[in-house]
């Protein structure tokens, strides 16, 4: 059973079934939380050992996480394989080592009179299949070690390109130096790398400034609970249970 905003009134039933058989939960991850922070918080709150999620979000990003409990953790790959949709904001005119806002700007340039048509054309050129190089600050494994560990040691290496699909890039808004857009893509796509690649295409450099995941397959963040809402329901359930006992 999957719990979200549309059926939150069935919380008590969901919780009992989750303890017995397993369950799933849509959560809107807050900014500055890691995906593991969310898993850990709910693991302790529910006192359930088997908890997983179906696609990491970087700490600075917000949006949809699907949490799986007990026997539902066996469905992890099924959810992980689903397409993703994001709203991204990139900043032109600089790069960063992490391809995002979490490290200082480098290679700052004055990109002059860059037309909207040029920007849109460059962004739209990434629609379709392309071989994307993951960021060096990522969880990809290089010779058995996580790439970000090697990157922090200032070792020189380049992750292997991964074939990804950008199904669509739409709702492009330009307020230089910032550009926002919605992107629907296949699993394994790094929006940080997409931002960096757009910057290379334009010759200006670019990095990911904001990111929000709005969709995983047919599951929408609009139906997701925030952590506070979920914990309120859980506290209410525990109080009711203690009175009933």
The highest-confidence range among 14-23, 30-39, 86-95, 149-158, by mean pLDDT, is: 86-95
Parallel/antiparallel/unpaired status of strands 178-185 and 84-92: antiparallel
Indicate the Cα dihedral angle 17, 22, 24, 25, nearest 10°: 60
Same domain, 95 and 11: no
Same domain, 229 and 192: no
Token pair recorded at residue 114: 């860059």
Same domain, 92 and 172: yes
Q: Which residue has the higher pLDDT, 141 or 110?
A: 110
Q: Is-catalytic flag, 83?
A: no
Distance CA 3, CA 26 (A): 7
Same domain, 223 and 109: no
Same domain, 124 and 17: no
Same domain, 18 and 100: no
Distance CA 93, CA 235 (A): 48
Q: What pLDDT was estimated at residue 190?
A: 92
Half-sphere exposure in the Cβ direction for 99 (13 Å, CA):
22
Helices marked H in 72-190: 76-80, 116-124, 147-152
Q: What pLDDT was estimated at residue 113?
A: 82
Q: Taking the model in full, what pTM does it have?
A: 0.89
User: Cis peptide before 122, with omega less than 30 degrees from 0?
Assistant: no
Give me the chain's average pLDDT, please. 88
Same domain, 174 and 72: no
In the DSSP assignment, the letter for residue 17 is H
Same domain, 93 and 145: yes
Same domain, 6 and 47: yes
Annotate 117-147 with DSSP letters as a single string.
Answer: HHHHHHHHTT-EEEEEPPPSSSS-EETTEEH
Number of domains in the chain: 2
Token pair recorded at residue 191: 């929006």
CATH number at residue 230: 3.30.70
Given a cut of 70, whether residue 114 has pLDDT beyond it is yes
Half-sphere exposure in the Cβ direction for 17 (13 Å, CA):
13
Q: What pLDDT was estimated at residue 243?
A: 30
Indicate the Cα dihedral angle 112, 113, 116, 117, nearest 10°: -110
Percent of the chain with pLDDT over 90: 63
Same domain, 8 and 111: no
Q: What pLDDT was estimated at residue 214?
A: 98
Half-sphere exposure in the Cβ direction for 14 (13 Å, CA):
23
CATH number at residue 200: 3.30.2350.10
Same domain, 32 and 56: yes
Same domain, 59 and 112: no
Q: What pLDDT was estimated at residue 28?
A: 96
Q: Beta-carbon neighbour count of residue 186 at 10 Å?
A: 16
Residue 73 lies in domain: 2-81+218-244
137: pLDDT confidence band, cut at 50, 70 and 90? Answer: low
Q: Which of 58, 83, 218, 245 is catalytic?
A: 58
Q: What pLDDT was estimated at residue 23?
A: 93
Q: Return the axis-axis angle of helices 11-20 and 227-244, rounded to nearest 10°.
A: 80
Q: Contact 88/183 with Cβ under 8 angstroms?
A: yes
Token pair recorded at residue 158: 């380049």
Distance CA 198, CA 201 (A): 5
In the DSSP assignment, the letter for residue 160 is P
């Amino acid at each position: 059973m999957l719990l979200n905003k549309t059926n939150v009134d069935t919380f008590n039933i969901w919780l009992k079934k989750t303890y017995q058989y397993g369950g799933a939960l849509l959560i809107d991850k807050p900014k500055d939380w890691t995906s593991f922070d969310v898993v850990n918080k709910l693991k302790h709150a529910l006192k359930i050992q088997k908890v997983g999620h179906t696609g990491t979000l970087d700490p600075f990003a917000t949006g949809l996480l699907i949490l799986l409990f007990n026997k539902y953790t066996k469905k992890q790959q099924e959810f992980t394989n689903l397409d993703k949709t994001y709203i991204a904001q990139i900043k032109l005119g600089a790069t960063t080592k992490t391809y995002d806002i979490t490290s200082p700007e480098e290679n700052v340039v004055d990109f002059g009179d860059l037309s909207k048509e040029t920007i849109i054309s460059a962004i739209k050129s990434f629609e379709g299949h392309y071989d994307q190089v993951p960021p060096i600050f990522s969880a990809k494994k290089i010779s058995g070690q996580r790439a970000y560990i090697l990157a922090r040691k200032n070792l020189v290496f380049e992750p292997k390109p991964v074939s990804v699909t950008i199904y669509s890039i739409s709702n492009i808004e330009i307020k230089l130096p910032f550009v926002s857009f919605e992107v629907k893509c296949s699993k394994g796509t790094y929006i940080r790398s997409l931002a960096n690649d757009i910057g290379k295409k334009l010759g200006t450099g670019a990095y990911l400034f904001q990111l929000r995941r709005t969709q995983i397959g047919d599951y929408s963040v609009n139906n997701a609970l925030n952590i506070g809402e979920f914990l309120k329901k859980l506290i209410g359930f525990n109080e009711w249970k203690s009175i009933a006992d």
